[in-house]
Amino acid sequence: MFIATLIASVLLAVALTVSAIGKLTRNPSVIPMLEQVGVPTDKIPWLAYLEILGALGLLVGLVVWPIGVAAAVGVIAYFIGAVIAHLRAKDKEFAPAAGLAVFAVVVLVLRVLSA
């Protein structure tokens, strides 16, 4: 079970890191979508920092069980917030955020089961 936890946690950490890099480098495919759903431009780096912290928490959580659980819960909350932001803006492109939320739930379940 731990091998599955390791693989899923690393994959989610990589996805979070790639997403954070897109925000911090102001990738033209990322910034307009964030502005469209109502994220103020000056708050975008903070979303990236949260993603980086989530990624680090997932990786540290492979060694320190409670940190992994807390990080997974935080990532789930982050992406639920993202889905809500898309829905409030009537943006139908919320599937990536929803998919990552589901994947974070999988990581949480695996982390709990492999304790």
The torsion angles phi and psi of 26, rounded to 5 degrees, stand at 55, 50
Q: Within the chain, which residues score under 50 in pLDDT?
A: none
Give the chain's length.
115
